[in-house]
Amino acid sequence: MVTCSNILVVTILILVSNFNIGIWLVNGCSGRDFRCGPDGPPIRFPFRLKDKETEQSCGYNGFDLTCSDTHKTQIEFPSPSGAIILEVMKIIYPDNRLYLTDPENCLPRQFVKLLRSPISPFQFFESPGVGYNFTILHCSSSLCPVIVVDSSDTLFNSGLDPIDCTKTSDSDFTSSDFTSELVLTWSKPNCSKCEKEGKMCKLKNNGTEDGEIECFDRHHKPTKKILLYVTGEDETRIEKFLEDYRTLNPARFSYHDIKRITNNFREELGEGAHGAVFKGKLSNEILVAVKMLNNAEGDGKEFINEVKAMGKVHHINVVRLVGFCADGCYRALVYNFFPNGSLQNFITKPDDIDRFLGWEKLQQIALGIAK
């Protein structure tokens, strides 16, 4: 595909060689963290997003997370009195620790439920050599009716009204502070070694759930999936533009069409700052280059601007926008394919004999672009 660099004669060409890939795939497993929102904790093995198209080896049973409507990361535990849903504040992967809080600001109530419920594959984090005795109270007048206090304190010292509070039970615990956050840990699978080496972790290729893992580097083959954080407002903006744009030349493809055109993203052409580019076929005669966009922090404006600008360009020496994809969280741009690759690869110094085109040829290219 013809591209541009720091040379005036090619400044109006589309730069493809610098579009980078943001997500990687290793045996079906992404090498990039996912997030429910821009400030959410990174989600990677052994955790996975529930109900996403994820290979079995990309997550571990019991480590399913969900994204709330407000883009908060949540985890759910079963309980006899109903599901316990807690917000995930942070995940410390090298230490196998999960920090939780209650979105309803009554963590002690949820803590009491968890004491009576299975939380496997997690365990309560224990501070070595430290133990505390707690009394669990039910205080009807409090915004959070379940109160946990040190057993050595009196109700008066705790600032509670004895008339409104009833003792329900005593408990031993190894952490003195779980009124604002609760810390869980896990022992299996143990990816601490991989994390401390700056690598990622996944189940071994046999796919068994025995906890046997292996490490892999973060950057490998480009992904077959692009997951974006897109708000409803962004979706509305993009859809409105595409509706207005529908009468123009570029065709609109579904994500299923994109997978078919690229043969499941089989052949990569390049990667750069905004996505990976794959070779594809509209038919046996028509070859295309498909750029999968990976702008997780954008609001759709970049996508709209590129479709708007490239849809108007029709020049023999400029790559043409054939179509686009705006299907859910997937964004793609489909260009006609230039079999000779990027012009940038041939704009070299004269002493590079193998690739230098010669001044006469470069002049012809410049004149052709200027027409």
Digit-coded pLDDT (tens) for 176-199:
455 678 889 998 888 888 888 888
How many CB atoms are located within 10 Å of the residue 340 CB?
9
Give CA–CA dist 296/59, Å, rounded.
22
Do the domain assignments include residue 291?
yes
Does 168 fall in a domain? no
Other CB atoms within 10 A of residue 218 CB:
14
Packed helices 301-310 and 232-245: angle between N→C axes, nearest 10 degrees: 10
How much is the pLDDT for 3? 34
Query: Mind listing the pLDDT tens digit for each residue in 8-21?
Result: 333 223 333 333 33
Domain match, 185 and 56 both: yes
User: Per the domain annotation, does 14 fall within a domain?
Assistant: yes
**Above pLDDT 90, what percent of the chain?**
10
**47 and 118 share a domain?**
yes
Asked whether residue 179 falls in the same domain as residue 261, the answer is no
Q: Is 291 annotated as a binding residue?
A: yes
Looking at the fold, whether 119 and 12 belong to one and the same domain comes out as no
| Residue 25: per-residue pLDDT | 46
Cα separation, 322 vs 258, in Å, equals 12
Same domain, 70 and 191: yes
Per the structure, the count of domains in the chain is 2
- DSSP states of 43-104 as a string? B-TT-EETTS---GGGS-TT-EEEE-TTS-EEEEE--TTS-EEEEEEEEEGGGTEEEEE-TT
Q: Are residue 282 and residue 182 in the same domain, yes or no?
A: no
Query: Quick one: tokens of 213?
Result: 């893992």
> Does the residue 36 lie in any domain?
no
Distance CA 87, CA 275 (A): 31
**362 within some domain:** no
Confidence of residue 352 (pLDDT cuts 50, 70, 90): confident
pLDDT at position 262, please?
92
* Claim to verify: residue 318 and residue 274 sit in the same structural domain: yes
Under the banding of pLDDT at 50, 70 and 90, the label for residue 228 is very low
Q: Is residue 29 part of a domain?
A: no
The verdict on 290 and 315 lying in the same domain is yes
**How many Å apart are CA 363 and CA 148, to the nearest integer?**
80
User: Same domain, yes or no, for 87 and 120?
Assistant: yes
In a domain, 302, yes or no: yes
CATH number at residue 240: 3.30.200.20
Alpha carbon of 156 to those of 4, 143, 358: distances in Å?
75, 19, 91
47 and 98 share one domain: yes
Question: Do 202 and 80 reside in the same domain of the chain?
Answer: yes
- Domain range for residue 322? 8-21+226-343
Long-range contacts, 276-283 (Cβ 8 Å, 24+): 276/19, 276/20, 276/21, 276/222, 276/223, 277/1, 277/16, 277/19, 278/222, 279/337, 280/334, 280/337, 282/322
Q: Please check whether residues 127 and 182 belong to one and the same domain.
A: yes
